[in-house]
Amino acid sequence: MTHSFHPTILREYDIRGIVDDNLTAQDAYAIGRSFATLIGRAGGSSIAVGYDGRLSSPMLEEALVSGIMDAGVNALRIGMGPTPMLYYAASTQPVDGGIEITGSHNPANYNGFKMVFQGRPFFGADIIQLGQMAAAGDWDSGQGSAQHLDIVDAYVDRLVQDFSGFGVDGRPFRMAWDAGNGAAGPVIEKLTQRLPGEHHLLFTDVDGHFPNHHPDPTDEANLADLRKLVAERSLDFGVAFDGDGDRIGAIDGQGRVIWGDQLLQIYAAAVLQGHGGATVIADVKASQALFDRVKELGGQPLMWKTGHSLIKAKMKETGSPLAGEMSGHIFFADRYYGYDDAPYAAVRLMEAATLLGTSVTDMRSQMAEWVNTPEMRFQVDESRKFAVIDEVLARLGDSGATVDRTDGARVLNEDGWWLLRASNTQDVLVARAESHDQAGLDRLLAAIDAQLALSGVVRGPQAAH
């Protein structure tokens, strides 16, 4: 039997497509069989498989598992749940890899795959090889088996293991949790039953239509219901999750957003008490306030490339106990080799406030205030996005500007900094700027516009995530 395959779903850092357009059951089969072939050739024999709450996920899971078994590899099917539950299974069960079927924070008609290969992230050249194998039908054959395992309770047990987040000044936390109808909902229900304090839950029923709001906590509009609940009940703070539960969003008791780099400031203050001098990693979009704060706390700040797989790899290389991204991916080294787990990040926020003896709201108030833009994303032809960055870097080099080239161009001057980089996963350029005041921010934005204009690009309408 031949199986068609759409290579357009393959991206350097993920596999994602529009269901029934460029992502079909045949694609899922081909991905499963190719991945399982790689596992088998590396000496492995079993793969954990999970899926999120999207309407298309069960169909894709069936096809994926068929491909795995036809390669002679066994499938451990853990069912519907958040991506970190799949990471937990891949780290604790006798398997050699894992695949989560998930569209993450993308629109409801999207879906995709996140993978773990023998304990490491699977991305970049790995995905390219997977596509080449699928296109060529370079597959092993066999008769693998499938086994079902309910792992939700064991995963929740791990989330609360050695829990120490009992509150501040002897008062347990009063919190709000917004699962956004995503795959983390049932886990959040079980988790909050195990935690001390008072917990108010929003949208924990899994619904792939996302009827209340889209599950992307980096979009402030999606935090409106959480803000309302925190205000009405005078709660201490609130947390929110994306569609597959690997990214966290948060607000304090005053309804202020605590962005990913601000959460890292809180976590760093707690983690560095036990890891003095340790490296704390953040992506190039993070505020200078975070890097300055890590230094103040006695840590070693490290700016790195955006992309959760890249951050995970850098954590292992440096032995960092903590890392994170503006997108809300937070990584703790004590959690399945540094994988991102948003329910665990929520637990760690409770523990950090308890350890530091300061409310989340007070910690948010004490942070250095910079004037900055949100992440700005705008369309550019796929064939031009990296070329534009190269052109900008060349001009900046000729001008003698202070440039960090870790991931695109991050330019530092007396006004603050601005960033321009090519997205890893979309045909967009990403920009951000930060200054001490609005006038400085305006000058930074003008510098971005000037560089783009020299490459024939206008910073026009922003692209959708």
Residue 426: pLDDT band by 50, 70, 90 thresholds?
Answer: confident
CB 321 within 8 Å of CB 264: no
Catalytic residue among 46, 57, 66, 104: 104
| β 428-435/371-372 pair status | antiparallel
Q: How many CB atoms lie within 10 A of CB 43?
A: 8
One domain, residues 375 and 361: no
pLDDT of residue 55: 97
pLDDT of residue 3: 62
Domain that holds residue 399: 371-454
Which pTM does this prediction carry?
A: 0.93
Residue 445 has pLDDT above 50, yes or no: yes
Residue 273: pLDDT band by 50, 70, 90 thresholds?
Answer: very high
One domain, residues 402 and 424: yes
Q: What is the rounded average pLDDT of the residues 174-201?
A: 98
pLDDT of residue 337: 59
**Catalytic residue list contains 104:** yes
Instruction: Pick the last residue of a domain from 365, 381, 416.
Output: 365
One domain, residues 389 and 448: yes
Q: What is the rounded average pLDDT of the residues 445-455?
A: 95
Residue 359: pLDDT band by 50, 70, 90 thresholds?
Answer: very high
Residue 11 has pLDDT above 80, yes or no: no
- Percent of the residues in the chain that have a pLDDT greater than 70, as a whole number: 97
d(CA 390, CA 301): 26
Q: What is the rounded average pLDDT of the residues 189-203?
A: 98
Residue 465: pLDDT band by 50, 70, 90 thresholds?
Answer: very low
One domain, residues 55 and 86: yes
Domain membership flag for residue 158: no
One domain, residues 318 and 279: yes
The CATH number given to whatever domain includes residue 78 is 3.40.120.10
The CATH number given to whatever domain includes residue 430 is 3.30.310.50
SS3 410: strand
Residue 245 has pLDDT above 50, yes or no: yes
pLDDT of residue 226: 98
d(CA 271, CA 10): 36
The DSSP secondary structure of 134-198, one letter per residue, reads HHHT--------EEE---HHHHHHHHTTT-----BTTB--EEEEE-TTSTTHHHHHHHHHHSSSE
One domain, residues 257 and 397: no
One domain, residues 326 and 379: no
Least confident of 55-69, 119-133, 252-266, 450-464: 450-464
The closest of 53, 54, 82, 50 to 64, measured between CA atoms, is: 50
One domain, residues 34 and 121: yes
Least confident of 194-198, 253-257, 311-315: 311-315
Domain membership flag for residue 161: no
DSSP letter for 38, please: H
DSSP letter for 9, please: G
Averaged pLDDT of the chain: 94
Question: In 282-416, which residue ranges form alpha helices assigned H by DSSP?
Answer: 288-296, 308-318, 342-356, 360-365, 385-399
Residue 8's identity, in one-letter code, is: T
Domain membership flag for residue 2: no
Q: Give the angle subtended at the CA of 208 by the CAs of 206 and 211, to the nearest 5°.
A: 85
Q: Tell me which of 24 and 375 has the higher pLDDT.
A: 24
